[in-house]
C-alpha cells in the first residue's frame, strides 16, 4: 500500500492547481496594495483593463506573451531532459546577434521571402550554439549546466556590449545600435501594437515541441533521460549526444526571442532587448508544467501582468514599476516555489468526490 | 521454546490487541476488519503477499496512519495512536526494511539521534554509552559504539537499528521484512538475536513473506490476504505448504518442475574479464564463464560482490578494464566496447536487477515502459514518429500474456505493484525472443504467486533455446531454477556447483568466502 495519496487528474494538475496558486498570489498582492493605501479592487480593475481592455492592449499582452512562449518552451525542453537551463537570457541575446548579422549581411539584396527564413534560422542557430558550449561541458566534463549557463549569460552580455560599441555600431551614431534593417526584414504588425507575426512562429513551435517530445522516438529518449538517466543508458541512449540535442533545441527556442524583438519591433540590433525574458521563462515553464499548452497559458498570464502592470504604474502614482515587479514576483513565488502548497488539500477534496 | 498455556491469560498475556481495524486509501480497502492478539514475550509472525496489508497494518500500530475504524489496546488499555511518538511512548519500536541510519555518524551518535538528552552532547553520550553496553550484555547485541555506520556490514547495521529501538525503551519490537538484505548466515544470527530478545521478555512481531523464517522463529502466525486476516495458527501446528496456500488462496507449487536442460552451443562467453573502478578498486577479477543455448546458469552471491557490475558489462552498459565478452560470435573488449543498443541488436535481452532505477521509467505510462530500449524499432517507430496505437496494442498484448494487473496500458508505471512491474519488464524483454537473457534478481519484491509464474516463464525461455543467466541473492531461487550454479565472492567466481549436489549451507559458506572451491 503506497503512502502517497492518489495523484491529481491531469486537468486538475495543469489548470485547476495553477488557478488556485494565482488566486492565492493575488490575495497576498491585494493585502500589500491595501497596506500602501491603494484600493485593491480598483488596482485589479486597472490591471485587467490595462491588459485586455482594448484591442491595442490585447496586442501588447500578446506581444509580451510571444517572448514568454519562446523562453518558456526553451526551459521546458531542457527540463524534460533533466537539464536546468538558466541561460535563456544569454541564448536569446546571442540569437539576436545571429538574427541581426544575417539581416545586416543580406537585407540589401535578398527579397523578404528568403531573408526572413534565413534570419529566423540564424537566430535559432546562434542560440543553439550558445547553449551547445555549456551542454558540451556538461556532457564531456561534468561541469554543472546550471553554473555554466549562468556564466554564459554574463559572457553573452559582455560580448554584446563589446560588439555593439566597437563593431556593429552605426557609423556616426552615439548610441550603441546597429543601422536600421531594411523594410524587407520587418514582420507584419498586428492589432496596431507591437504584436507581430512572430506569435504564429511561437505557436508553431509549441506544436512542434509537443510532437517532438511525445510522438517521436528521440523525444521519447529525451524524456527517458530526464526522468531516469540510468534507464536511458539501459535503453541504449547516448546520454552525451542527447544532452547536446536537448540543450541545442532549448537554446534555439530561446534564440527566437530576437525574431519578435528585433524583426518585429526594434528593426535593429541593440543592447538588452531580451532583458528579463530568459529568466521569466523559468517561471513560465514551472507554471506551465513544462507542457506546451501550459506554457502558452502561463505566457499569456505573464504577458498580461507585464502589460497590465505597466498601465497600472502609469495610472496610480502609489504603484511604482517596482511594485509591479513585486506582483510578478509573488505570482512566480506561489506558482513556482510554492506550487505544491494547495496540492494535498486539493487531493483531499477531489478524493472525496470520485 | 518456553511453553505458555495460551488460554486463560486474558489481557495479562496480550501485549497488543487490535480490534476490528479498518483502513481505506481512496477506493483501495487496504485493511479490512482486522482483529489480532499479539502475545507478550513471544514472537508473532504476520505473512502475506505484497499488498496484502501487512505494512499498512503495522503503520497503523506505529502511529504513521490513523485507522478509519477500530481499537488498539496496548497492555489492555485502549490507546489513541496519532504519531510514532505515541507508539514509542508506549514501548512499541519499529525496525524498517530500509535502514534509517546516518552513514557518516558513529553507532553511538546514531543511537542518541533524537534522544540527545539536553543541549550539550557529552552527558547524554556518556549515559548512552553505558546503556549501549548494558543492552549489549543483556541481549547479546554487541556493536562497536565508535565505529562509523558506513564501515559496518549490513547485518551489523540492522543490529544498530534494533539497538536504537531498545535504547528508546521499546518492549515490543516490530520488524518489517528484516531478512531482505541479509546473507543466510546473517539471517540466522538475526534469528538468534530475536530468540534472545524473546527470552528476556521482549515481544516481537515479524512481518515477512518468507515462510521458512516464519517456521524457524515464530510461536504464532497470522496470514493476511487482500487486507484481511484469513487464518491464524500456532506455528508448531502448521507447515509451509499450508501457509503458502493460505497466502495465495490456491495451491502453490513450491518446487519447480522442469525437464533436464538440452545444451546447445555456447552463445555467451567471457574470458579473463576484469573491472577496476576510477578509485582503483578491483570490482571484478578474471571472470570466465560460458552460457549455452538451452540452459539456465545461476549466479549466487551476497549482493555487492560484483554481480551488478558483471551484468552491466554483459549488457554493454559498462566497459570492462580487461578481458573479452563474446555474444553470438561477436567479441568485445575494452578497446572495442559494446553499447547496450549493439547488445540488444545481437539478441541479448536484459532484465536489470533494479527495475525501478533501470528497467523502467516510473513517470511513464506502462505502454511507454513496455518499449524501453526498443523504442526506435518497428513497429513502434516509423520515420522517427512513434506509433501511439501500435505501442498501446503491444502493451495490452504483453499484459494479457504475462498476466500484468491491472490491464491498463495508460496507467503510470510506478502505480503498479512490484510484482506486476517485474512481469511487465520481463514481458518486454522475453517478447523479443532473445538468444541470451540476462536476469538480475528475477523475483525481488515479488509475490509467491508471481514468483511461480516468473520461474515457469524463465524455464519456458530456456526450453525454447535461450541462454539464460540468472543473478539472484535468493539461494532457494538459484537452487530451483539453475542448471549450473556459479558462486561469486569479492569480484571472483569462487566455484561451480551442480544444483543436485548443492545445499544451502555449503553455498552460504562459499558466498561468505569461507570455502573457495579449488
What integer is the mean pLDDT of B468-481? Answer: 88
ipTM value > 0.90: no
CA proximity to B306, closest of B333, B335, B338, B274: B274
Written as nine digits, the cell of B449 is 504467486
Quick one: closest CA in B to A226, which residue?
Answer: B361
Cβ distance B339 to A236 less than 8 Å, yes or no, reads yes
Give the lowest-confidence range in A260-269, B209-218, B270-279, B282-291: B209-218
Cβ distance A5 to B26 less than 8 Å, yes or no, reads yes
Cβ distance A231 to B344 less than 8 Å, yes or no, reads no
Q: Which residues contact A117 (CB under 8 A, 6 or more apart)?
A: none
Cβ distance B384 to A224 less than 8 Å, yes or no, reads no
pLDDT of B390 reads 92
B330 touches chain A (CB under 8 A): no
B28 touches chain A (CB under 8 A): yes
d(CA B22, CA B29): 8
Written as nine digits, the cell of B123 is 552527558
Please say if the pLDDT value at position A58 is more than 60. yes
Burial of residue B506 (CB within 10 Å: 0-12, 13-18, 19+) is middle
Please say if the pLDDT value at position B6 is more than 50. no
Quick one: closest CA in B to A1, which residue?
Answer: B51
Q: Give B-chain residues touching A220 at CB under 8 angstroms.
A: 368, 371, 375, 386
Quick one: closest CA in A to B359, which residue?
Answer: A231
Q: Out of B317, B361, B385, whose CB is closest to A224?
A: B361
Separation in Å, CA of A209 to nearest CA in chain B: 13
Task: Identify whether the C-beta of residue A86 lies closer than 8 Å to the C-beta of residue A146.
Answer: yes
Q: Out of B27, B30, B361, whose CB is closest to A228?
A: B361
H or E stretch including B233? strand B228-234
B389 touches chain A (CB under 8 A): no
Which of B227, B375, B412, B421 to substitute to test the interface with A, most A CBs within 10 Å? B375
Which of A210, A236, A237, A347 to substitute to test the interface with B, most B CBs within 10 Å? A236
Q: Which residues contact A341 (CB under 8 A, 6 or more apart)?
A: A21, A24, A334
Q: Which residues of B372-394 are buried (b: 16+ CB within 10 A; e: fewer)?
A: bbbbbeeebbeeeebeeebbbeb
* Runs of H (alpha helix) within B315-447: 340-345, 366-369, 388-401, 418-430
Q: Which residues of B306-324 are buried (b: 16+ CB within 10 A; e: fewer)?
A: bbbbbbbbbbbbbbbbebb
B56 touches chain A (CB under 8 A): yes
Task: Identify whether the C-beta of residue A101 lies closer than 8 Å to the C-beta of residue A181.
Answer: no
Task: Identify whether the C-beta of residue A38 lies closer than 8 Å to the C-beta of residue A257.
Answer: no
Give the lowest-confidence range in A50-59, A79-88, B146-155: B146-155
Q: Give B-chain residues touching A222 at CB under 8 angstroms.
A: none
Backbone angles phi, psi at B324, to 5 degrees: -130, 155
CA proximity to B215, closest of B512, B1, B5: B1
Please say if the pLDDT value at position B148 is more than 70. yes
The residue assigned the cell 549455452 is: B292
| CA atoms B364, B368, B371, B375: torsion sign | negative
Cβ distance A1 to B340 less than 8 Å, yes or no, reads no
Please say if the pLDDT value at position B4 is more than 70. no
pLDDT band at B242 (very low <50, low <70, confident <90, very high): confident
Rounded (5°) CA angle A168-A169-A175: 145
Give the lowest-confidence range in A120-134, A167-181, B238-252: B238-252
Burial of residue A23 (CB within 10 Å: 0-12, 13-18, 19+) is exposed
Q: Which residues of B111-150 are buried (b: 16+ CB within 10 A; e: fewer)?
A: bbeeeeeeeeeeebbeebeebbeebbeebebebebeeebe
Task: Identify whether the C-beta of residue A323 lies closer than 8 Å to the C-beta of residue A76.
Answer: no
B376 touches chain A (CB under 8 A): yes
Please say if the pLDDT value at position B12 is more than 80. no
Q: How many CB atoms lie within 10 A of CB A258?
A: 34
Written as nine digits, the cell of B497 is 556447483
In tens, the pLDDT along B412-471 reads 888 887 788 899 999 999 998 899 999 998 887 777 778 888 999 999 999 999 999 999
| CA atoms B401, B404, B408, B411: torsion sign | negative
Taking any CB pair shorter than 8 Å as contact, residues of chain A touching chain B are 1-3, 5-7, 214-221, 223-224, 227-228, 230-231, 233-236, 238, 351, 354
Task: Identify whether the C-beta of residue B350 lies closer than 8 Å to the C-beta of residue B372.
Answer: no
Q: Give B-chain residues touching A226 at CB under 8 angstroms.
A: none
Complete DSSP assignment for B42-74: SEEEEE--TTSSHHHHHHHHTTSS--SEEEEEE
d(CA B361, CA B365): 8
Quick one: closest CA in A to B31, which residue?
Answer: A1
In tens, the pLDDT along B17-52 reads 999 999 887 667 888 999 999 999 999 999 887 667
Q: Which residues contact B456 (CB under 8 A, 6 or more apart)?
A: B256
pLDDT band at B517 (very low <50, low <70, confident <90, very high): very low
Cβ distance B56 to A1 less than 8 Å, yes or no, reads yes
d(CA A305, CA B244): 64
Quick one: closest CA in B to A349, which residue?
Answer: B26
Burial of residue B269 (CB within 10 Å: 0-12, 13-18, 19+) is middle
Q: Which residues of B468-482 are buried (b: 16+ CB within 10 A; e: fewer)?
A: bbbbbbbbebbbbbb
Quick one: closest CA in A to B343, which residue?
Answer: A236
The B residues from 407 to 426 touching A (CB cutoff 8 Å) are 412
Cβ distance A234 to B375 less than 8 Å, yes or no, reads no
Q: What is the mean pLDDT of chain A?
A: 90
Q: Which residues contact A36 (CB under 8 A, 6 or more apart)?
A: A318, A319, A323
Task: Identify whether the C-beta of residue A117 lies closer than 8 Å to the C-beta of residue A256.
Answer: no
d(CA B418, CA B107): 33
Written as nine digits, the cell of A208 is 512542434
What integer is the mean pLDDT of A335-342? Answer: 76
Q: What is the mean pLDDT of chain B?
A: 85
* Runs of H (alpha helix) within A259-339: 277-287, 292-315, 321-332
The B residues from 301 to 320 touching A (CB cutoff 8 Å) are 315, 317
pLDDT of B251 reads 67
d(CA B458, CA B240): 24
The two beta strands, B172-176 and B203-208, are: parallel
H or E stretch including A239? helix A239-255
Which CATH topology does A51-316+326-339 take? Answer: ABC transporter involved in vitamin B12 uptake, BtuC (1.10.3470)
Please say if the pLDDT value at position B124 is more than 60. yes
In tens, the pLDDT along B320-378 reads 999 999 998 899 999 999 999 999 999 999 999 888 888 999 899 999 999 999 998 88
B347 touches chain A (CB under 8 A): no
pLDDT band at B252 (very low <50, low <70, confident <90, very high): low
Q: Which residues contact A308 (CB under 8 A, 6 or more apart)?
A: A46, A47, A48, A49, A50, A51, A52, A57, A61
Cβ distance B368 to A220 less than 8 Å, yes or no, reads yes
C-alpha gyration radius of chain A: 21
For the beta sheet containing B92-95, the strands, ordered from the edge strand earlier in sequence to the opposite edge, are B92-95, B172-176, B203-208, B43-47, B220-225, B228-234
Quick one: closest CA in B to A228, which residue?
Answer: B361
SS3 of A259, please?
Answer: helix
pLDDT of A6 reads 57
What integer is the mean pLDDT of B211-220? Answer: 88
In tens, the pLDDT along A165-210 reads 999 998 888 889 999 999 999 999 888 788 999 999 999 999 999 9
Beta bridge partners of B440: B471
Cβ distance A221 to B375 less than 8 Å, yes or no, reads yes
Backbone angles phi, psi at A201, to 5 degrees: -60, -40
H or E stretch including B311? helix B307-314
Q: What is the largest CA-CA distance in chain A?
A: 75
SS3 of A86, please?
Answer: coil
Q: Out of B27, B30, B384, whose CB is closest to A217?
A: B384
Q: Which residues of B428-449 are buried (b: 16+ CB within 10 A; e: fewer)?
A: bbbbeebbbbbbbbbbbbbbbb
Beta bridge partners of B223: B47, B231
Q: Give A-chain residues touching B372 at CB under 8 angstroms.
A: 224, 231, 234-235
Cβ distance A1 to B368 less than 8 Å, yes or no, reads no
Burial of residue B257 (CB within 10 Å: 0-12, 13-18, 19+) is exposed
pLDDT of B260 reads 83
Q: Give A-chain residues touching B317 at CB under 8 angstroms.
A: 233-234
pLDDT band at A234 (very low <50, low <70, confident <90, very high): very high
pLDDT of B345 reads 92
Rounded (5°) CA angle A305-A311-A317: 115
Quick one: closest CA in B to A212, which residue?
Answer: B385
Q: Which residue has the higher pLDDT, B1 or B69?
A: B69
pLDDT of B11 reads 41
Q: Out of A1, A6, A234, whose CB is closest to B340?
A: A234
Q: What percent of chain B has pLDDT over 90?
A: 34
d(CA B55, CA A326): 48
Cβ distance B375 to A235 less than 8 Å, yes or no, reads yes
H or E stretch including A11? helix A10-11
H or E stretch including A58? helix A55-80
pLDDT of B254 reads 59
B386 touches chain A (CB under 8 A): yes
List, in order of start, the domains of chain B with CATH numbers.
255-347+434-518 (3.40.50.300), 356-433 (no CATH)
**C-alpha B276 chain-centroid distance:** 28
Helices B184-199, B154-167: axis angle to 10 degrees equals 20
pLDDT band at B514 (very low <50, low <70, confident <90, very high): low
Amino acid at each position: 500500500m503506497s503512502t502517497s495519496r492518489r495523484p491529481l487528474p491531469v486537468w486538475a494538475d495543469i489548470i485547476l492547481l495553477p488557478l488556485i496558486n494565482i488566486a492565492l498570489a493575488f490575495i497576498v498582492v491585494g493585502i500589500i496594495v491595501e497596506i500602501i493605501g491603494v484600493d485593491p479592487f480598483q488596482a485589479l480593475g486597472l490591471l485587467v483593463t490595462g491588459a485586455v481592455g482594448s484591442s491595442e492592449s490585447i496586442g501588447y499582452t500578446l506581444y509580451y506573451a510571444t517572448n514568454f512562449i519562446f523562453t518558456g518552451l526553451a526551459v521546458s525542453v531542457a527540463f524534460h531532459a533533466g537539464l536546468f537551463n538558466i541561460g535563456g537570457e544569454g541564448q536569446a541575446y546571442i540569437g539576436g546577434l545571429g538574427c541581426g548579422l544575417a539581416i545586416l549581411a543580406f537585407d540589401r539584396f535578398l527579397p523578404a521571402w528568403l531573408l526572413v527564413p534565413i534570419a529566423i534560422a540564424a537566430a535559432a542557430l546562434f542560440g543553439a550554439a550558445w547553449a551547445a558550449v555549456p551542454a558540451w561541458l556538461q556532457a564531456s566534463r561534468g561541469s554543472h549546466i546550471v553554473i555554466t549557463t549562468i556564466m554564459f549569460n554574463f559572457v553573452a552580455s559582455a560580448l554584446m556590449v563589446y560588439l555593439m560599441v566597437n563593431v556593429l555600431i552605426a557609423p556616426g551614431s552615439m548610441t550603441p545600435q546597429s543601422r536600421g534593417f531594411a523594410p524587407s526584414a520587418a514582420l507584419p504588425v498586428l492589432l496596431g501594437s507591437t504584436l507581430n507575426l512572430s506569435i504564429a512562429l511561437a505557436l508553431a513551435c509549441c506544436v512542434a515541441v509537443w510532437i517532438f517530445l511525445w510522438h517521436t522516438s528521440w523525444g521519447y529518449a529525451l524524456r527517458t533521460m530526464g526522468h531516469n538517466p540510468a534507464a536511458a543508458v539501459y535503453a541504449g541512449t547516448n546520454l552525451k549526444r542527447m544532452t547536446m540535442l536537448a540543450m541545442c533545441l532549448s537554446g534555439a527556442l530561446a534564440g527566437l526571442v530576437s525574431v519578435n524583438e528585433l524583426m518585429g519591433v526594434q528593426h535593429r540590433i541593440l543592447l538588452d532587448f531580451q532583458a528579463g525574458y530568459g529568466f521569466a521563462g523559468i517561471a513560465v515553464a514551472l507554471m506551465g508544467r513544462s507542457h506546451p499548452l501550459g506554457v502558452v497559458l502561463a505566457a499569456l498570464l505573464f504577458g498580461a501582468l507585464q502589460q497590465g502592470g505597466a498601465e497600472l504604474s502609469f495610472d496610480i502614482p502609489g504603484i511604482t514599476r517596482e511594485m509591479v515587479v513585486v506582483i510578478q514576483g509573488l505570482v512566480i513565488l506561489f506558482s513556482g516555489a510554492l506550487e505544491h502548497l494547495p496540492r494535498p488539500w486539493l487531493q483531499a477534496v477531489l478524493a472525496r468526490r470520485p | 521454546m518456553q511453553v505458555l498455556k495460551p488460554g486463560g491469560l486474558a489481557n495479562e498475556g496480550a501485549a497488543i490487541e487490535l480490534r476490528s481495524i479498518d483502513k481505506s486509501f481512496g477506493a483501495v480497502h487496504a485493511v479490512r476488519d482486522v482483529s489480532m492478539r499479539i502475545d507478550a514475550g513471544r514472537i508473532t509472525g504476520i505473512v502475506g503477499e505484497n499488498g496484502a496489508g501487512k505494512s499498512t497494518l503495522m503503520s497503523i500500530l506505529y502511529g504513521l496512519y490513523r485507522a478509519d475504524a477500530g481499537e488498539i489496546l496496548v497492555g489492555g488499555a485502549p490507546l489513541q495512536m496519532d504519531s510514532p511518538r505515541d507508539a514509542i511512548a508506549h514501548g512499541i519500536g519499529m525496525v524498517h526494511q530500509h535502514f534509517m541510519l546516518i552513514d557518516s555518524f558513529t553507532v553511538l551518535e546514531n543511537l542518541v539521534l533524537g534522544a540527545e538528552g539536553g543541549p550539550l552532547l557529552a552527558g547524554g553520550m556518556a549515559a548512552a554509552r553505558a546503556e549501549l553496553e548494558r543492552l549489549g550484555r543483556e541481549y547479546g547485541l554487541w556493536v562497536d559504539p565508535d565505529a562509523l555506520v558506513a564501515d559496518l556490514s549490513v547485518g551489523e547495521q540492522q543490529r544498530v537499528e534494533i539497538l536504537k529501538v531498545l535504547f528508546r525503551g521499546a518492549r515490543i519490537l516490530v520488524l518489517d521484512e528484516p531478512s531482505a538484505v541479509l546473507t543466510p548466515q546473517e539471517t540466522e544470527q538475526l534469528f538468534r538475536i530475536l530468540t534472545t530478545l524473546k527470552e528476556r521478555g521482549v515481544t516481537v512481531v515479524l512481518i515477512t513473506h518468507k515462510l521458512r523464517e516464519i517456521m524457524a522463529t515464530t510461536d504464532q502466525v497470522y496470514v493476511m490476504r487482500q487486507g484481511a486476516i484469513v487464518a491464524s495458527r500456532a506455528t508448531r501446528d502448521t507447515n509451509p505448504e499450508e501457509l503458502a496456500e493460505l497466502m495465495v488462496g490456491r495451491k502453490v507449487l513450491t518446487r519447480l518442475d522442469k525437464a533436464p536442460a538440452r545444451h546447445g552451443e555456447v552463445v555467451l562467453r567471457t574470458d579473463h574479464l576484469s573491472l577496476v573502478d576510477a578509485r582503483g578498486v578491483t570490482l571484478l577479477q578474471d571472470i570466465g564463464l560460458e552460457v549455452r543455448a538451452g540452459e539456465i546458469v545461476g549466479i549466487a552471491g551476497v549482493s555487492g560482490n560484483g554481480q551488478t557490475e558483471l551484468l552491466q558489462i554483459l549488457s554493454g552498459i559498462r566497459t570492462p578494464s580487461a578481458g573479452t565478452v563474446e555474444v553470438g560470435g561477436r567479441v568485445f573488449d575494452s578497446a572495442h566496447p559494446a553499447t547496450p543498443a549493439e547488445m540488444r541488436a545481437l539478441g541479448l535481452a536484459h532484465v536489470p536487477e533494479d527495475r525501478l532505477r533501470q528497467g523502467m521509467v516510473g513517470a511513464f505510462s506502462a505502454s511507454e515502459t513496455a518499449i524501453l530500449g526498443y523504442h526506435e524499432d518497428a513497429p513502434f517507430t516509423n520515420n522517427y514518429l512513434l506509433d501511439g496505437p501500435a505501442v498501446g496494442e503491444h502493451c495490452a498484448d504483453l499484459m494479457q500474456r504475462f498476466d500484468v494487473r491491472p490491464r491498463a496500458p495508460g496507467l503510470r508505471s510506478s502505480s503498479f505493484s512490484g510484482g506486476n512491474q517485474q512481469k511487465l519488464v520481463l514481458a518486454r524483454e522475453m517478447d523479443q525472443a532473445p538468444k541470451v537473457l540476462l536476469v538480475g534478481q528475477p523475483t525481488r519484491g515479488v509475490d509467491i504467486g508471481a514468483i511461480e509464474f516468473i520461474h515457469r516463464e524463465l524455464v519456458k525461455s530456456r526450453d525454447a533455446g535461450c541462454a539464460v543467466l540468472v543473478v539472484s541473492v535468493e539461494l532457494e531461487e538459484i537452487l530451483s531454477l539453475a542448471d549450473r550454479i556459479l558462486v561469486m565472492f569479492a569480484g571472483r567466481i569462487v566455484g561451480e556447483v551442480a544444483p543436485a549436489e548443492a545445499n544451502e549451507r555449503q553455498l552460504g559458506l562459499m558466498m561468505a568466502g569461507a570455502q573457495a572451491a579449488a
